[in-house]
Amino acid sequence: MSKTQETEGEERKIVTFTLGKQMFGIDMRALIEIREWEEPTPLPGVPNYLKGVTNLRGSVVPVVGLAERLGWAPSVLHSRSCILVVAIGERQAGFLVDEVADIVAIDGADIQPAPDVEVSEQSAIAGLVRIERRTSDAGEAETMVLLLDLDALSLTRQVMELAA
Amino acid sequence: MSGGDELDEIQAIFFEECAEGLATAEAGLSAMASGDTSSDVIAGVFRAVHSIKGGSGAFGHGALQAFSHRFENVLDEVRAGHIAASADVTRIMLNAFDILSDHVAFAQTGGSAPEDAAMLEQLDAVLAAKGAPAAEPAAECAPAPAADADEFGFTPVMAVIEEFDPFGFEPVTVDLEDLTATELRGWTVRFGPSRAALANGGEPMLVIRELEDMGGTVTHVDTSRLPGLRDLDPEDGYLVWTVGLPASVEEQAIRDCFDFVAPDSLIEIGRDEAGASEPAAVDMPVTVAVSAEPERPALTLVADNVPAAPVAEKPRAEAPAQTIRVDLGKLDQLLNLVGELVIRGSILSDRLSPADQERVELPELSRLTRQIQDNVMSLRAQPIRHAFSRVPRMLRDLMGETGKQVLLETTGEMTEVDKGVIEKIGDPLTHMIRNAVDHGIESTEERIAAGKSAEGTIRLSAEQKGARIIVRVADDGRGINRERVRAKAVERGIIASDAQLSDEEIDGLICAPGFSTAESISNISGRGVGMDVVRSNVEALGGRLEIHSVPGQGTTFSMALPLTLAILDGMIVRLGKQRFVLPLANVIETVQPAPGQVRATSPTSEVIELRGNYLPVRRIGEMFGLPCGNQPEDCLVIIVESEVAGHVGLMVDTIDNRREVVIKSLEDNLHPIRGLGGATVLGDGSIALILDIDALVVPASSKFALKGMAA
């Protein structure tokens, strides 16, 4: 929903992070907090990408392996692995990501719709945008960021589909 | 713009109050129907209907106001003892109550206005039967529902003029020509807002503007009470305005302006003396002591006006317990914070030695925390009566539609449940009752032929069992016709024609999506959505629906619902590295199995021999995909009692301890997971999952398989 409301030329802030070699971004407004990875409590009978639940200041929040959820190879845990806690509608969810990169401002007009090449159901890419890398290796000054459609990642929705 | 929003908000409050008023009125009327016609009960009903009338006038719901006014007239006479609260009168009033509910619904949501002409006639007949001429003019003068009167430009308050009899007004036939012909005096209104009115945010200017909008002019401002600047308290009210209004303005319209003026303000409304040829009553100001409760501003007003009221300023007989409205979200937040407090408390106690705990008075702190927690919990708990209260009305409607006679027996209505649960069981309950009347209870002839009483009975009950509340709807009707259900399910393609099903499984089919056995689709149920919706609603709440039916004797639907947000007395057990909470209510005993006490009966099932009995044993770890390679002798078997499978042993690695845990629902951020009743945060901040025993011990075949078939 949020993406349709964006007017041309509006500046947005996104949080960028990596999963494997890909760089992803989510709308800054959805971010609640970034926490260090700690093993969540596993749940029975749920899809593999649902790593379990963790305690976020008293509420029980599911932790999703974002890489698996998006169809990539599971993240390998390392010291910079962390959990992005985001709000999806009224609910909260934690996404395991490899490394948080930066917070960048982008222009709404620069977002390109995701090409329809992959019709995979697991795709939750709302659009593509090029950003300049502040921490660039000398070679690559620009990189492509895949913007995630958080609504498509809603756990309830996914489960409803599974049940149907 | 913002004014509109405010009005909407106030309207919303009005409708909430209507709902409360209706509930009070219904409870009172039901009490009257069962023989309790004490004056308290009648007065309670009167007050409830009266406050609905007051608010409806203020918000311009003409039809609602007109109807409640007529209803109130009758109630008033009953209250005064002029009409006996006989069974007939009570029945008529119950029916009138139903129409009143419809009116409220109409005012709130629109749609078509309820048909109330017949009901009004009945009410008038009751009034007429009283025989006292004083009440007659009301009936004669305003026979048409006020909604009609509106077309002639009158607001529906003719009868209010009637009530002014004691002040010397002639019963006026309200006719515009008459009104203009009679020399009418203008109104004089004196208004002096009190300190409380200002403190409540009452803006006198708004009231005065409202009066001006009706053609009023401020003729005088009394500043005599205004102190010198040094003594002036800017928060006090010193001024008294005198406003003149044209004679054509309805008195009620003037009074409406003061509806939201806070207590003890000076409000005097009277006819002008100028040109008075009428008796002394003319200049007698009606002093209005606005009721102490802002939400029922109109009450004392009418007590003043009502001819039958013995003492005009008689205060309300009983002040209801004071309440405030609180946003549920705030309560939830409070509960979460208290939960955090409990958790921090247990972390503290884990870290301190017993001596240190005493030294810092930790036990006292824990006790206080527990009390706060209990109190916060109780804020959200409400008697389930709130959900049951709409059933009697529904039954009356259903009886009318089907011609069946049904008695309702209710038990356990004071069982306290979390408000969230109460809100969500309304729909399932409605469907279950409809289903019971439509499909369960036979027609009177059938019942007599079957040797049963002519009246069917529906028993509605609630009880708390451990961490669950069981709500049952039991009818004494014909029971489920299993052959027909089976045939229908095959026809609908829900099950294969050669499927082998137990009786329970067949009963369960009526909850399958798209199933309906009604041969003709009735108005009530039989659209094939009912029981399906019930089951999904109940399961969405983390509960279970069970059906028990005996052919010829009736059917019982049981909803087992969690008391969400409750505290659970739990046993913390370990499986592998993970900790789980077993509800202590289900635990019977714990057994350390001796070698050979647990035996396999198949590669996947085991039993434990306990004092000569064999009980099934389940390894929870394996059910949750946590393999436990331990020998039974190294484990503990906890014998639990389940609703569905009786006593079952659950194999766990060890038991940690026993403690009260705060249930956190998984649905808040996720969805219900079968086998889990929620989660809790332990003292170290980690999460333990709460086991739902009943879902765990269900024999894997029945329910899961049935679900598969239905889907």
What mean pLDDT comes out for the span B643-656?
83
- Name the β-bridge partners of A50: A64
What pLDDT digit, counting tens, does each position of B69-92 carry?
A: 888 888 888 888 888 888 788 888
How many CA atoms lie within 13 Å of A109's alpha carbon, on the beta-carbon side?
3
Amino acid residing at B338: V
The whole-angstrom distance between A43's CA and the closest CA on chain B is 8
Strand B554-562 relative to strand A99-107, pairing: unpaired
| Separation between Cα atoms, residue B360 and residue B348, nearest integer Å | 11
User: Which of A46, A57, A91 comes nearest B669 by C-beta?
Assistant: A91
Res. B593: pLDDT tops 70: yes
In order of B213, B247, B269, the CA distances from B188 in angstroms are: 15, 10, 6
Judging contacts by C-beta atoms under 8 Å, the chain B residues touching residue A91 are 668-670
Least confident of A115-119, B162-166, B444-448, B645-649: B162-166
Q: Any CB–CB contact under 8 A between B687 and chain A?
A: yes
Nearest Cα to Cα of residue B459 among B378, B548, B566, B351 = B548
> What pLDDT, on the 0 to 100 scale, is given for residue B564?
55
Three-state SS at A128: strand
Which residues of chain A does B665 touch, with a Cβ-Cβ cutoff of 8 Å? 60
Out of B343, B668, B685, closest to residue A60 by CB:
B668
**Which of B347, B669, B676 has the most A C-beta neighbours within 10 Å, making it the best mutation to test the interface with A?**
B669
Q: Which residues of chain B lie closer than 8 angstroms to A155, CB-CB?
A: 669-671
Please count the other Cβ atoms lying within 10 Å of the Cβ belonging to residue B642.
Answer: 17
pLDDT score recorded for residue B472: 92
| A58, A92, A155: residue with CB nearest B671 | A155
Strand partners of residue A17: A24, A100
B608-617 per-position pLDDT tens digit: 888 888 888 8
The one-character DSSP state at A73 is P
Q: Whole-angstrom Cα distance, residue B80 to residue B641?
A: 57
pLDDT at A53: 92
C-beta atoms surrounding B396 within 10 Å: 17
> CA nearest A41 in B: which residue?
B687
What single letter denotes the amino acid at residue B321? A
- Both tokens of A50, joined, read 């649902």
Contacts of B624 in chain A (CB under 8 A): 44-45
* Subunit contact B687:A55, Cβ cutoff 8 A: yes
The residues, ordered by sequence, that sit 6+ positions from A121 with a Cβ below 8 Å of its Cβ are none
CB-CB contact of B433 with B390 (8 Å): no
Q: What is the mean pLDDT of residues B180-202?
A: 70
Rounded to whole angstroms, the Cα distance separating B536 from B673 reads: 14
pLDDT given for residue A140 in this prediction: 61
Q: Do the strands B217-222 and B240-245 form a parallel or antiparallel pair, or are they unpaired?
A: antiparallel
User: Distance (Å, rounded) from C-alpha B593 to C-alpha B442?
Assistant: 53
pLDDT for residue A78 is more than 80: yes
- The average pLDDT across B441-452 equals 88
Judging contacts by C-beta atoms under 8 Å, the chain A residues touching residue B688 are: 41
- pLDDT bin (cut points 50, 70, 90) of residue B133 is very low
- Span B100-127, average pLDDT: 82
Q: At what angle do helices B391-402 and B2-33 cross, to 10 degrees?
A: 70
Residue of B nearest to A94 (CA): B669
**Set of chain A residues whose Cβ sits within 8 Å of the Cβ of B673:** 43-46
DSSP character string of B354-420: HHHHHHTTHHHHHHHHHHHHHHHHHHHEEETHHHHTTHHHHHHHHHHHH---EEEEEE-TT-EEEHH
Mean pLDDT of B638-662: 81
Burial class (CB in 10 A: 0-12, 13-18, 19+), B302: buried
Partner A contacted by B310 (CB < 8 A): no
pLDDT-based confidence at residue B153 (cuts at 50, 70, 90): very low
Closest chain A residue to B624 measured between Cα atoms? A44
Exposed, middle or buried by CB within 10 Å (0-12, 13-18, 19+), for B644? middle
Angle between helices B2-33 and B39-58 (to 10 degrees): 160
Question: Where does B482-609 have alpha helices with state H?
Answer: 482-491, 503-509, 530-540
**Contact by Cβ (8 Å): A14, A107:** no
State which residue of chain B sits closest to A154, comparing Cα positions.
Answer: B670
Residue B556 confidence class, pLDDT cut points 50, 70, 90:
very high
Q: How far is B87 from chain A (nearest CA, A)?
A: 51
Q: Mean pLDDT over residues A86-92, rounded?
A: 88
B283, two tokens: 């200049």
- Rounded to an integer, the average pLDDT of B13-37 is 81
Cα(B161)–Cα(B147) distance, rounded to whole angstroms?
Answer: 17
Average pLDDT for B596-613: 84
Tell me the sheet residues that pair with A16: A25, A102
Report yes or no: A59 at the B interface, CB cutoff 8 Å. Answer: yes
Decide which of B88 and B157 is more confident.
B88
On whether any CB of chain B is under 8 Å from the CB of A159, the answer is yes
Check A58 against B624: CB less than 8 A apart: no
Compute and round to an integer the Cα radius of gyration of chain B: 33
Instruction: List the single best residue of A55, A83, A92, A154 to mutate versus B (max B Cβ within 10 A).
Output: A55
User: Do A60 and B339 count as a contact with CB atoms less than 8 A apart?
Assistant: no
In this structure, are residues B290 and B258 in contact, taking their beta carbons and an 8 Å threshold?
A: yes
Q: Which helix (H) or strand (E) is B130 found in, with range?
A: none
Contact: A60, B673; criterion CB under 8 Å: no
Q: Higher-confidence residue: B83 or A8?
A: B83
Widest distance between CA atoms in chain B:
109
Minimum mean pLDDT among B30-39, B676-685, B698-707: which range?
A: B698-707
Between helices B362-380 and B328-351, what is the axis angle to 10°?
Answer: 160
Per-residue pLDDT tens over the stretch B274-329: 444 444 444 444 444 443 444 433 333 333 343 443 433 444 444 556 778 888 77
- A44·B668 Cβ contact <8 A: no
Closest residue of chain B to A155, computed from CA coordinates: B670
DSSP state of B431: H
Q: What is the mean pLDDT of chain B?
A: 74
What is the identity of the amino acid at B62? G
Paired with B568 in beta bridges are: B661
Give me the total of CB pairs closer than 8 Å, taking one residue from chain A and one from chain B.
68
Of A44, A59, A159, the CB nearest to B675: A44
| Per-residue model confidence (pLDDT) at position B284 | 43
pLDDT of B336 above 80: no
pLDDT of residue B540: 65
From A158's Cα to the closest Cα of chain B, the distance in A is: 10
Structure tokens at B343: 């958790």
Give the DSSP H or E segment for B688.
strand B687-691
What letter would DSSP give residue A9?
T
Residue B473: alpha-carbon gap to chain centroid: 18
Position B281, amino acid: A
Q: Is residue A134 a contact partner of residue A112, using CB atoms and an 8 Å limit?
A: no
- Which class for B520: exposed (0-12), middle (13-18), buried (19 or more C-beta within 10 A)? exposed
Q: Measured between alpha carbons, how far is B170 from B278 in angstroms, rounded to an integer?
A: 10
Average pLDDT over residues A140-146: 78
For residues B475-496, average pLDDT: 85
Dihedral angle over CA of B156, B162, B166, B171, nearest 10: 140
Q: Which of B336, B578, B689 sits opposite A58 (nearest CB)?
A: B336
Chain B partners within 8 Å of A41 (Cβ) = 578, 679, 686-689
Q: Is B536 on the interface with A (CB under 8 A)?
A: no
- Contacts A159 to B, Cβ<8 Å: 671
CA distance to partner chain A, nearest, from residue B336 (Å): 6
Span B188-197, average pLDDT: 79
Contact B22, B56 (CB under 8 A): no
Nearest to A58 among B666, B674, B681 (CB): B681
CA dihedral B122, B125, B126, B127 (to 10 degrees): 120
Q: Do B339 and A40 touch (CB under 8 A)?
A: no
B674 touches chain A (CB under 8 A): yes
Give per-residue pLDDT as tens, B248-266.
Answer: 777 777 777 777 776 677 7
Report CB contact under 8 Å: A41, B679: yes
Q: What is the mean pLDDT of residues B443-460?
A: 89
pLDDT at A83 over 90: yes
Report whether pLDDT(B164) > 60.
no
Q: In Å, what is the CA distance from A117 to each residue of A114, A123, A125? A: 8, 11, 12
- Rounded to an integer, what distance in angstroms lies between the CA atom of residue B102 and that of residue B368? 47
Report the SS3 class of residue B639: strand
Contact B340 A58 (CB under 8 A): yes
Q: Inform me whether the C-beta atom of residue B351 falls under 8 Å from chain A C-beta atoms.
A: no
Which among B343, B284, B301, B296 has a CA at the least distance from the CA of B322? B296
Bridge partners for A54 per DSSP: A61
Of the two residues B648 and B228, the one the predictor is more confident about is: B648
Q: How far apart are CA A93 and CA B90, in angstroms?
A: 56
Q: Of B222 and B148, which is predicted with more confidence?
A: B222
Structure tokens at A97: 């990501």
Q: Does A115 touch chain B (CB under 8 A)?
A: no
CA–CA dist B310, B379 (Å, integer): 40
**Residues pairing with A88 in the sheet:** A91
A94 interfacial to chain B (CB closer than 8 Å): no
Query: Does A41 touch chain B if contact means CB atoms closer than 8 Å?
Result: yes
Q: Does B673 touch chain A (CB under 8 A)?
A: yes
Q: How far apart are CA B143 and CA B87, in angstroms?
A: 25
What percent of chain B shows pLDDT beyond 70? 76
A62 interface with B at CB cutoff 8 Å: yes
Round to whole Å and give the CA distance between B467 and B461.
17
CA distances B566 to B380, B609, B640, B697, Å, are 10, 35, 21, 23
Out of B339, B675, B678, name the one closest to residue A58 (CB): B339
Distance CA B3, CA B19 (A): 24
For residue B184, the model assigns a pLDDT of 62
Token pair recorded at residue B156: 């529906």
Chain B residues with CB-CB distance to A61 below 8 A: 669
Q: Which residues of B touch A44 (CB under 8 A)?
A: 623-625, 673, 675-676, 689
